[in-house]
Chains A and B, each alone.
Chain A
């Protein structure tokens, strides 16, 4: 069983979203890091970039493969987590805390409501 915190929202493509005011923090779920195993490289978007919901904007690489990470929301990248670039293993060890990817200033806050609840995401990953 992987961890699916109750206070977050989720995207089908295995990202989590934490909203504070009009800024959303995005990372990948415990389930996703478990499937990827051994993250060895993380590539994050530039601060200032406009991203659309569903757009590929980061890459996470395990030993075996490169996987795109999609933005669950629309807005502007306002901050990225340089610690996870320096130490990609944080994605595996602290997917919901130290392993966050980037923060987006939401331009369409209503999108937040169509993200998955913890219950729905749990069902999607068969838990």
Chain B
């Protein structure tokens, strides 16, 4: 039985096409992926992300604990600040990639992947049990208590202040929502309920992620669509969410990341604070940083007219004596660029931007080229 978010009925009413995603029945699209993608790039889109998990970690030792199990430097977070970070196993393999927000001096909110809730929570509890100075550390999976929406796009600032008027009363306090800086989180009261809003997203556009008690998420969704109309706000599905993040080269767990892939291999070294002291997975990551890796996650663009690249398609070197380099992990037609794009793992010798490669599509090889990340850059 697939799980449904509190917005399931809203998706049905809007004619969303529902598909399975990580055990959830989610809208993949309402109008079309192309249309919704371009709407987010040019105006505004709202996504149901209620399937994502929320974990609260609290106690005087919460900072030290999280700093021990996450790769980024948790100590840099002041109250109301968030960061992208990764949770690794002892081998440096990624258990999950997540957002960690410090919402009070001794309390953190972790936003984790829907498909990883069970694995993460069990890992967190296991780590908490063996953490030497855990004291009264608490780790609470509150995923079932919250719904969430992402409101993304350059025109969101035109109406978000109407949705959450006044100044924040939690996280970063006493700021208007449009004054939140990237990665900051604040709290507002909506229909009598406490709602947290972070300025972040998964699209490469300006935007906000709203985390609300299940009881109010429907009203937030409806009100956003009603007032966002002036800025051409559209409901958007997971299809557009995937093409938007692929253009930005943001990883998706299960594609770029898994328990046998390290953040260094994935090209996420920026989010690994090797200098912060010991943490789970550090010795492997340190060695990879020093000695290099055997494979790297690269971005590529198709250079010939071809079918779009898809996950698992083989990647070959170009020229004579071609050898198999690896596989595509994410691939799609880029709605912004009108060409096939993707990411995949190749040996470091083939990872430099400009390197020609071939993607095997249904037995035929099509020309592509390694390009810098992100694949899509906003026109200035």
Contacts and interface: CB of A to CB of B under 8 A. Distances in A.
Which of B34, B242, B306 has the largest count of A CB atoms less than 10 A from its CB?
A: B34
Given A38-B34, A41-B333, A61 B29 contact: no
Nearest to B239: A64
A63 B308 contact: yes
A61 B34 contact: no
A59 B335 CA distance: 20
A79 interface: no
B333 A63 contact: yes
B32 A61 contact: no
B50 interface: no
B333 A61 contact: yes
Looking at chain B's contact residues, is the secondary structure mostly helix, strand, loop, or mixed?
mixed
A115 interface: no
A46 to B, nearest CB: 13
Interface residues of B, number: 18
Nearest to A92: B32
B33 A37 contact: yes
Which of A40, A59, A63 has the largest count of B CB atoms less than 10 A from its CB?
A: A63
B332 A63 contact: yes
A121 B332 CA distance: 32
A61 B309 CA distance: 10
A37 B37 CA distance: 13
B322 to A, nearest CB: 22
Contacts of A41: 306-308, 333
Interface string A30-70: 00000001101101000000000000000101111010000
Nearest to A34: B32
Contacts of B335: 38, 63
Contacts of A63: 32-34, 37, 239, 243, 308, 332-333, 335
Contacts of B35: 38
A40 B308 contact: yes
A64 B33 contact: yes
A54 to B, nearest CB: 19
B325 interface: no
Given A38-B32, A59-B362, A64 B332 contact: yes
Interface string B24-35: 000011001111
Interface string B277-313: 0000000000000000000000000000011101000
Which of A43, A62, A66 has the largest count of B CB atoms less than 10 A from its CB?
A: A62
A66 B312 CA distance: 13
B33 A43 contact: no
A90 to B, nearest CB: 15
A33 to B, nearest CB: 11
A37 B34 contact: yes
A40 B34 CA distance: 10
Given A63-B332, A63-B333, A64-B332, A43 B239 contact: no
A40 B307 CA distance: 8
Nearest to B339: A40
Contacts of B32: 37-38, 63
B362 A40 contact: no
B29 A37 contact: yes
Interface in B319-363: 332-333, 335, 362
Contacts of A59: 307, 362
Contact of B307 (A38, A64, A66): A66
Nearest to A86: B305
A71 to B, nearest CB: 17
A40 to B, nearest CB: 4
Contacts of B310: 66
A41 B307 CA distance: 6
A41 B308 CA distance: 8
Nearest to B307: A41
9 contacts: A37-B34, A38-B34, A38-B35, A40-B308, A40-B333, A59-B307, A61-B333, A63-B34, A64-B29
Interface of B: 28-29, 32-35, 37, 239, 242-243, 306-308, 310, 332-333, 335, 362
